[in-house]
Amino acid sequence: MSEYDYDLRPMTPSVVLVGSRSSADGYAIRDFLTRNRIVYEWRDLDAGETHAAYRPGMRLPLCLIPDGTRPEEIVVREGATVETVARSLGLVAEPRLAEYDLAIIGAGPAGLAAAVYAASEGLRTVVVESVAPGGQAGTTSLIENYLGFPDGVSGNQLAARATVQAERFGAEILLARPVDDVAPDSGGYISRLSDGTTIASRAVLYAAGVEWRRLDAPGVDRLLGAGVYYGAGPSEALGCRGCRVVIIGGGNSAGQACMRFSRYAAHVTLLVRGDSLAASMSQYLIDQIAERENIEVRLRSEAVSVDGDDNLRTIGVATRGSDAIETLQANALFICIGGIARTQCADRVGLMLDSTHYLLTGIDLAPGGEKPPGWTLTRAPFPLETNLPGFFAAGDVRSGSVKRCAAATGEGAMSVALVHRRLAEIGGE
Amino acid sequence: METVAPITELPPNPEFAVLASDERIDATAAALRSHGLEALVVGTGAEARAAVLDRLPEGAEVFNNTSITLESIGIAGDVERSGRFRPVRLQLFQMDREMQKREMRQIAAAPDWVVGSAHAVTEDGSVLLASASGSQLGPIASGAGRVILVVGGQKVVPDLASGLRRLYEYSYRLEDARARLAYGVPSGVNNILVVNRVLAPGRLTVVLVRQVLGF
């Protein structure tokens, strides 16, 4: 036990989640709570744990939530979902203003950077985030090459600090609801959230980032949340103590996940499709992985199937140059195989996308110097501006963006200067 | 060789469980003030809670130390659960003990506010704290921006010598039993902080309560 374990346990009751490790709903809530930095206790019925409030027959997962400063008041949610838990915890807030200067969709590094700059410069700013601040970077255990943090910083900490910073300047951050639709309205835009809440803004920054590319292999969908996870699974690290973990991917996210899980797991296998890590992973991570005795890197390898009853048990692995399918024993599989742009609602509003569904901006909209189709202004689109005036994009979701945290924060900051120019154009600034 | 019973099997010395008189508490507060501390005297735990909440700004970063006193009068819940503050304790608890060791040390060492308790306060104006890990002591001595200590009136002792006796003969014995029950490990008077004088006026506030609170 470290000195921190001795001194840092919460003095008051925390959220308790009771369920089965093989439940995808349970995993979604654990992931949500972890990424939103909500302290919780996880009681795994499969491991023989229980809770006084649990009775057989109750719908799982069961979530017990203390009520503010009255610990004796416990809200019990049967069949809990991320949405009901978020509401019970008071994380679902309504927008305070009838209109904003800037609505930012996505609270990853780009969205949070934009929120800090916009709010600090006096713009009425709201950020809408479907899960938790931080985006994909928020699940990273340790970013060691982010400027100004010589000892590294976790994505979660970076997001937490940025969130506090943005809120200090007056930005509102609305969590736990995705944006379903955005539509032009009176020179600005109306964003509609999944629960029907609408947000009017004079400009929009779309920074919804990317989601993990799906692994097309038999068994993956059935065991999702039951040993198979997309991303680095920060909520699962402690649960992997002594386990055999497999990670798929050749990028920095996969490398960082390797380093995290190697601290807890008995053995970590990294499956990489390519011939080397050098093409896709930072050298410092390659060096760290090489030094860690319990990490095995398998190049030219792919997972072709996953199997298990209630939980993942085995992974079928094919290696290029061999006809044999090898069966790996595994307790957990983390899939970090690149991203696909979250442009579903952008599609509906008529934004132009590249061939891989990333948002086109600036000169990429009309490479020949022409204006994009339907563009009515005399000026050309600003850099980071989409084919809709006043609708900007930044970060990983933007076509041509560099998939690095620092690049995303840079784009977020830059976008605010362009938003100012747009607001001046339509008046009122 | 003489066999000595483990100290933890000794009962707490009841001499240190007795609430000090109003006069002694008032005199202690005056002595603390003369040493650069802010000291106030309140009648009940509820009043102490109100005094603490009155001083903590909305949205402040607050580290509530492990403390039976804070827990019993509701301040631990106020800090951790009310949503009015940014609770450092919960932030640290969620961090990765392996990957974020250094970050944890930095955050724990210098919170904006620390709210805690002390194990003894002397009538001539010193504050004594003991800690098994020592992690609470650095921020209280200098790392934290502001410190508020809520102290039950039974912790008032005549002088430093009796204060040290109180740590070993009373606080430690109760804390050791609590630690074994709560964490499964023994406690220890491994580190001691004695605050004799505070140079920055008002940095350290002691709320003396005319009531028995904590260990």
What is the rounded distance in angstroms from the CA atom of residue A124 to the CA atom of residue A134? 21
- Residue A124 CA to residue B184 CA, distance in Å, equals 51
* Cβ contact A140:A155 at 8 Å: yes
> Does residue B4 carry a pLDDT above 80?
no
- Is there a domain that residue A6 lies in? no
With a cut of 50, say whether residue B5 has pLDDT above it: no
B83-95 pLDDT per residue, tens: 889 999 988 887 7
Nearest-neighbour CA in chain B from A10: distance (Å): 6
In terms of Cα–Cα distance, which of B10, B19, B37 is closest to B194?
Answer: B37
Which of B77, B103, B104 has the CB atom closest to A69's CB atom? B77
Query: Is residue A318 a part of any domain in this protein?
Result: yes
Does position A373 have pLDDT exceeding 50, yes or no? yes
**How many Cα atoms within 13 Å fall on the side-chain side of residue A96?**
9
For residues A158 and A178, state if they share a domain: yes
Residues A207 and A343 in one domain: yes
Q: Which of A65-79, A139-153, B101-115 has the highest mean pLDDT?
A: B101-115
Domain boundary among A301, A318, A335: A335
Structural domain contains residue A75: yes
| Total count of domains within chain A | 3
- Verify that A327 and A352 share a domain, yes or no: no
Question: What's the gap in Å between the CA of B77 and the closest CA on chain A?
Answer: 5
Q: Tell me the mean pLDDT in the region A65-70.
A: 67
Together in a domain, A78 and A106: no
Query: B113: distance to nearest CA of chain A, Å?
Result: 16
Residue A111 and residue A73 share a domain: no
Q: What is the pLDDT, as a whole number, of residue B83?
A: 80
| Domains of chain B listed by start with CATH number | 12-209 (3.40.50.10420)
Q: Which residue of B has its CA nearest to A66?
A: B81
Question: Does residue A208 sit within a domain?
Answer: yes
Nearest CA among A104, A342, A134 for reference residue A206: A104
A32: containing domain: 12-88
pLDDT single digits (tens) A192-236 = 999 999 999 999 999 999 999 999 999 999 998 889 999 877 778
Q: Which residue, among B81, B131, B136, B176, would best test binding to A if mutated, counting the most A CBs under 10 Å from its CB? A: B81
Do A195 and A343 have their domain in common? yes
Task: Compare all CA atoms of chain B with the CA of A90 and give the residue at the minimum distance.
Answer: B83
Q: What is the CATH number of the domain that holds A142?
A: 3.50.50.60
What percent of chain A is modeled with pLDDT above 70?
A: 97
Closest Cα partner for A221 from A25, A83, A26, A24?
A24
Contact call for B89 and A11, based on CB within 8 A: yes
Asked whether the beta carbons of B67 and B149 are under 8 A apart, the reply is no
d(CA A42, CA A17): 5
Residue B63 · residue B110 · CB < 8 Å: no
Residue A338 pLDDT exceeds 90: no
Chain A contacts of B82, Cβ < 8 Å?
Answer: 68-69
Q: What is the pLDDT of residue A2?
A: 43
> What is the spatial distance between Cα A12 and Cα A14, in angstroms, rounded to a whole number?
6
pLDDT in tens, A264-322: 899 999 999 999 999 889 999 999 999 999 999 999 999 999 999 888 999 999 999 99
3-class secondary structure, A276? coil
pLDDT of residue A68: 57
Q: A175-184, B35-44, B67-76 — which one is most confidently predicted on average?
A: B35-44
Domain match, A244 and A318 both: yes
H helix or E strand, kind and range, residue A425: helix A405-426
Q: Is A153 on the interface with B (CB under 8 A)?
A: yes
Residues A239 and A140 in one domain: no
Q: Do B82 and A260 touch (CB under 8 A)?
A: no
Residue-level pLDDT at B8: 54
Residue A59 within any structural domain of the chain: yes
Q: Are residues A117 and A205 in the same domain?
A: yes
Q: Do B97 and A141 touch (CB under 8 A)?
A: no
A160: left (phi over 0), alpha (psi -120 to 50) or beta: alpha
Q: Are residues A152 and A107 in the same domain?
A: yes
Per-residue confidence (pLDDT) for residue A392, from 0 to 100:
98
Could you tell me if A324 and A389 lie in one domain? no
ipTM: 0.75
Q: Which range scores top for mean pLDDT: A64-78, A360-374, B137-151?
A: B137-151
Q: CB–CB of B144/B113 below 8 Å?
A: yes
Q: Scanning the structure block, which residue is given the tokens 């944006």?
A: A179
* Final residue of a structural domain among A316, A335, A354: A335
Q: Is A376 inside a domain boundary? A: yes
pLDDT at position A403? 84
Residues A208 and A353 both lie in one domain: yes
Q: Tell me, what CATH number does A68's domain have?
A: 3.40.30.10
Quote the minimal CA–CA distance from A90 to chain B in Å: 9
Q: How far is B40 from chain A (nearest CA, A)?
A: 25
Mean residue pLDDT of chain A comes to 90
The whole-number pLDDT of residue B177 equals: 85
Last residue of a domain, one of A299, A316, A335: A335
Residue A4 located in a structural domain: no
Q: Which residues of B touch A260 (CB under 8 A)?
A: 96, 99
DSSP notation for A82-137: HHHHHHHTT-----S-S-EEEEEE--SHHHHHHHHHHHHTT--EEEE-SS-TTTTG
**A322 burial via Cβ count (<10 Å: 0-12, 13-18, 19+):** exposed
Which pLDDT score is estimated for A71? Answer: 52
- Contacts with B4 (C-beta within 8 Å, 6 or more apart), sequence order: none
Which residue from A34, A69, A156 is facing B74, i.e. has the nearest CB? A69
Look at residue A206 and tell me if it is in a domain: yes
Instruction: Among B52, B73, B90, pick the best mutation site for testing chain A contact (most A Cβ within 10 A).
Output: B90
Q: Which of A39, A71, A154 sits opposite B100 (nearest CB)?
A: A154
Check A90 against B83: CB less than 8 A apart.
yes
